[in-house]
Amino acid sequence: MEVKAKLRYLRIAPRKTRSVASLIRGKKIEQAINILNYCPRRAAQPIAKLLKSAVASADERGDVDVDTLFVKTIFVDEGPTQKRFLPRAMGRATHINKRTSHVTVVLEEA
């Protein structure tokens, strides 16, 4: 049985979020949460929260043993980009792209 959870519009760039997601791919739930608790990256906390949400969804269904779950797949897609401008010298402006991420995690029983 698969359990899927999504986190959309996370205000962290996908490139930075993918490095955290790759740390827990294929790991058991308990091990993945421990890795994320000690990971210094900013994206670790929202991904840990997403993982706990997926486990709670699996537990709520009732037909899944939570202790045997593992991260089957986790991937990060690019969300919409907020475009901003920063004033610079001599009347110029530079682009600032505030990127967002869509994170999807799929858990499965071992």
End-to-end CA distance of the chain: 10
**Using 50, 70 and 90 to split pLDDT, how confident is the model at 1?**
confident
pLDDT value at position 95? 97
Q: What burial class does residue 91 get, using C-beta atoms within 10 Å of its C-beta: 0-12 exposed, 13-18 middle, 19+ buried?
A: exposed
- Residue type (1 letter), 76: V
pTM of the model: 0.91
The model's pLDDT over 40-73, given as tens digits with 9 standing for 90+, comes to 999 999 999 999 999 999 999 888 888 999 999 9
Give 110's pLDDT tier (boundaries 50, 70, 90): confident
Predicted confidence at residue 87, as pLDDT, reads 97
The pLDDT of residue 22 is above 90: yes
CATH of 2-109, one of 3.40.140.10, 3.90.470.10, 1.10.3470.10, 3.40.50.2300: 3.90.470.10
pLDDT tens-digit profile of 78-106?
999 999 999 999 999 999 999 999 999 99
